[in-house]
Amino acid sequence: MRHRVTFIHSKSSEEKVVNTINDTYVSLKEDMDVAREDRFTFPAPEFKNVKSLRLQVNKGYDNSRVTLPFSYPYQIGLHFYVKPLVISSVKEREEFYENSAKLIKDYFGVEPDVQTWIPSLSALYFHVQEPLAMSFKNVEPSLADVNGDWSCLDYHSSDGTSSLKLFYPDAKERTVDVSNTSDFTEVGIFAIDAPSSRDNIILSGARVVMNDEPDQDLVQRTLFHVKPRHRYLEPIDLSYKPNGLHPVISFGDAPEHPVDEDIKNCILYSYYTLEKSIFLDPYQIPPGFDILANYGTKDLELPEYSIKQWGNEVLVEHKDTTSFPFDLTLHTRYQVPDAEQHKHTALDKPVVFYACEALVDPYLLNNSPFDNKRAPGGSFEKFFTDDTIFYHALKHGYFDVDIPRATFDANATNIVTLLSLLLGVSIILYKVFRRVSSQKTPNLKKTE
pLDDT digits (tens, 9 = 90+) for 339-395: 778 889 999 999 999 999 999 999 999 999 999 999 999 999 999 999 999 999 999
- For residues 81 and 150, give the distance between their C-alpha atoms in angstroms, rounded to a whole number: 21
Name the residue type at position 53: L
Last residue of a domain, one of 227, 249, 264: 227
Q: Which of the 8 DSSP states describes residue 197? A: B
Residue 137 Cα to chain centre, angstroms: 24
The pLDDT of residue 114 is above 90:
no
Last residue of a domain, one of 227, 242, 268: 227
Name the residue type at position 363: Y
* Residues 224-238, mean pLDDT to the nearest whole number: 94
Q: Which of the 8 DSSP states describes residue 430? A: H
The answer on 261 and 157 residing in a single domain is no
Answer whether residue 280 is part of any domain.
yes
First-to-last alpha carbon distance for the chain, in angstroms, is 105
Answer whether residue 213 is part of any domain.
yes
Name the residue type at position 57: V
Answer whether residue 425 is part of any domain.
yes
% of the chain exceeding 70 in pLDDT: 93
The pLDDT of residue 230 is above 50:
yes
pLDDT at 92: 81
| Residue 319 near residue 286, CB atoms below 8 Å | no
- For residues 12 and 17, give the distance between their C-alpha atoms in angstroms, rounded to a whole number: 9
What mean pLDDT, rounded, does the chain reach?
88
Q: Which of the 8 DSSP states describes residue 431? A: H
The answer on 152 and 22 residing in a single domain is yes
Answer whether residue 315 is part of any domain.
yes
- For residues 9 and 65, give the distance between their C-alpha atoms in angstroms, rounded to a whole number: 9
pLDDT at 163: 93
* Residues 143-148, mean pLDDT to the nearest whole number: 74
The pLDDT of residue 90 is above 80:
yes
The answer on 394 and 280 residing in a single domain is yes
Residue 305 Cα to chain centre, angstroms: 24
% of the chain exceeding 90 in pLDDT: 62
Range of the domain at 328: 231-404
pLDDT at 436: 74
The answer on 363 and 220 residing in a single domain is no
Least confident segment among 111-115, 155-159, 256-260: 111-115
- In whole angstroms, how large is the CA radius of gyration of the chain? 28
pLDDT at 149: 87
* Residues 216-234, mean pLDDT to the nearest whole number: 92
pLDDT at 444: 47
- Paired strand residues for 175: 27
The answer on 58 and 106 residing in a single domain is yes
DSSP string, 297-329: ---SS--GGG--S-EEEEEEEES-GGG-SEEEE
Q: Which of 289, 245, 278 is nearest to 345 (CA)?
A: 278
The answer on 266 and 211 residing in a single domain is no
The answer on 289 and 163 residing in a single domain is no
Name the residue type at position 397: G
pTM of the predicted model, to two decimals?
0.86
The pLDDT of residue 410 is above 60:
no
- For residues 442 and 24, give the distance between their C-alpha atoms in angstroms, rounded to a whole number: 108
Answer whether residue 394 is part of any domain.
yes
Least confident segment among 301-315, 404-418, 423-437: 404-418
77-84 and 50-58 strand pairing: antiparallel
The answer on 179 and 239 residing in a single domain is no
* Residues 294-311, mean pLDDT to the nearest whole number: 92
- Paired strand residues for 6: 37, 188
Answer whether residue 442 is part of any domain.
no
The answer on 336 and 289 residing in a single domain is yes
The answer on 237 and 98 residing in a single domain is no
Q: Which of 365, 369, 390, 25 is nearest to 190 (CA)?
A: 369
The sign one gets for the Cα dihedral 380, 364, 15, 21 is positive
- Paired strand residues for 53: 82, 157
- For residues 151 and 171, give the distance between their C-alpha atoms in angstroms, rounded to a whole number: 10
- The CATH number of the domain holding residue 290 is 2.60.40
Name the residue type at position 65: R
- pLDDT bucket at 331, cuts 50 / 70 / 90: very high
Report how many domains make up the chain: 3
Answer whether residue 444 is part of any domain.
no
The answer on 386 and 320 residing in a single domain is yes
Last residue of a domain, one of 204, 227, 250: 227
- For residues 152 and 159, give the distance between their C-alpha atoms in angstroms, rounded to a whole number: 24
The answer on 129 and 50 residing in a single domain is yes
Answer whether residue 445 is part of any domain.
no
* Residues 273-284, mean pLDDT to the nearest whole number: 94
